[in-house]
Amino acid sequence: MQLSERQNDALAELINIAFSRTAASLSELTGHRVVLDVPKVAMYPISELTTRLAQFLPAELASVHQVFTGPLTGDALLLLNYDGAVMLTELLTDEAIHSHRLNESAREVLTEVGNILLNACLGMFGNLLQVRISFSVPRLHLETLGEMVKSLVIDKEELRYALVVYTAFRVRDSAIRGFLVIALSVVSLDRLIQEVEKWEDNQGN
């Protein structure tokens, strides 16, 4: 399964709307201008995910993981390098002291940021499909890329594909690279792509 260029562009545009909302929420929340880079979207089979992301996430990573169920089912994750996660929380909370580690409060902040971002994207998909998506409570994990991918494959055997969204958080002259991974079953993915195409057609009218 491959996304056509048109499908890809339409998805990126939709996600960008969700990103703008997220950036606005984060800016309001922190009092700093937060910008999310225009997303680059790609779709890979889950089996390729580790290879595709390894160069960006070489060591331990921080992931905010939210499972969603309902008419659309899958896993949504925000992935950051551990150091990037520390930096992002320090920037968002005005922490002037650099501790180089995520304490409990920093983990909470990161989970909230992931929650806002994932909710915005999935909420947008839900609206598009005119269905209500049910969310689980977001959880933060500190793990390697391999461990993260393994948890996807083991939990949901029918999952085959992952939408990977490349972006970066820009806060106070710093950019922190982040990745959004939305793992979907083939059925869910088919439905999503159909709706994205419809949306795109309507945009054209």
Partner 1 sequence: MLNDAALRWMNDLSAQGIFLTDAGLTIQGWNHWLESRSGRAAAEMIGRNLLDEYPDLIERGLDKYYKDALEGQIRLLSQRLHHYLLPIAPQGDETSFTMMQQSARIAPLVEDDRVIGTITVIDDVTERISREDQLMRLLSREQAARREAEMANRAKDEFLATVSHELRTPLNAISGWVQILLKQGVANEFLAHGLAVVERNVKMQTKIIEDILDVSRIITGKLSLSVTQVNLAPVVEAALDAVRLAADAKEIRLEWALDADAGPVSGDPGRLQQVVWNLVSNAIKFTPGGGVVNVRLARVGSQAEITVSDTGKGISSEFLPYVFERFRQADSTSTRQQSGLGLGLAIVRHLVEMHGGTVSAFSEGDGRGATFILRLPLLAVRSTGDLLLQSRDKLKGDGTEPVFSSGGRPGDDNLKLRGLRVLIVDDDADARELLEVILLQFGAEIKLATSARQALAVLEDWKPDALVSDVGMPNEDGYSLIQKIRALAPERGGLTPAIALTGYGRPEDRLQLLAAGYQVHLSKPVELMQLVDSISNLTSRDEKKLYTPVE
Binding footprint of partner 1 on the chain (CB under 8 A): 28-30, 66, 89, 92-93, 95-99, 103-106, 108-109, 111-112, 115, 119, 123, 126, 132-138
119: left (phi over 0), alpha (psi -120 to 50) or beta: alpha
Return the number of the residue (149 or 182) whose C-beta is nearest partner 1: 182
Distances (CA, A) of 65 to 138, 161, 180: 5, 16, 10
Token readout for 184 is: 């979907």
Instruction: Tell me how far, at minimum, the Cβ of 179 lies from partner 1, in Å.
Output: 20
Cβ at position 32, least distance to partner 1 in Å: 11
In angstroms, give the least distance from the CB of 145 to partner 1.
24
Rounded to the nearest 10 degrees, the angle between the axes of helix 5-30 and helix 82-92 is 50
- The residue among 71 and 153 lying less far from partner 1, judged by its C-beta, is 71
By beta-carbon proximity to partner 1, the closer residue of 137 and 154 is 137
Identity of the residue, 12 or 24, whose beta carbon is nearer to partner 1 in the bound complex: 24
Smallest separation, CB 16 to partner 1 (Å)? 20
Nearer to partner 1, 31 or 204 (CB): 31
Measured from the CB of residue 4, what is the shortest distance to partner 1 in angstroms? 31
Q: How far apart are CA 138 and CA 134, in angstroms?
A: 12
Nearest one of 126, 183, 124, 164 to 39, comparing CA atoms:
164
For residues 188 and 128, the answer to whether their CB atoms sit within 8 Å is: no
